[in-house]
Amino acid sequence: SGIVNAAFRVGGDLGKLVMTTYGAVLGAKLFMVAVMLGLAYFNRFIAMPRLRNFTAHDGPAAKSMPLAAGLCLSIAAEWGVGLLVLGLAALLGITAPPQ
């Protein structure tokens, strides 16, 4: 909604968007959403299959601990970035849009 709101406000002059606090906050939010989606992709399609495919015949159960710990760390990072996105969305809601 921030992109659409900004597009209505600035029309065809993107310079107005880039040089404002609103544009900076919107850019930061979009970047953090991209980071969060990247982490989610990694967790779902890379880390989880690796952990799932690890079987008991691959060695001692302790060998799977780094995989599980890495997944936990990545999930925690995804949560943290998600909270940051919510904070940026709140800040975007109280920041004056470009005119």
pLDDT in tens, 9-61: 777 777 778 888 988 998 999 999 999 999 999 999 999 888 887 755 566 66
Helix or strand or coil: residue 17? Answer: helix
More confidently predicted of 81 and 50: 81
Reported pTM: 0.82
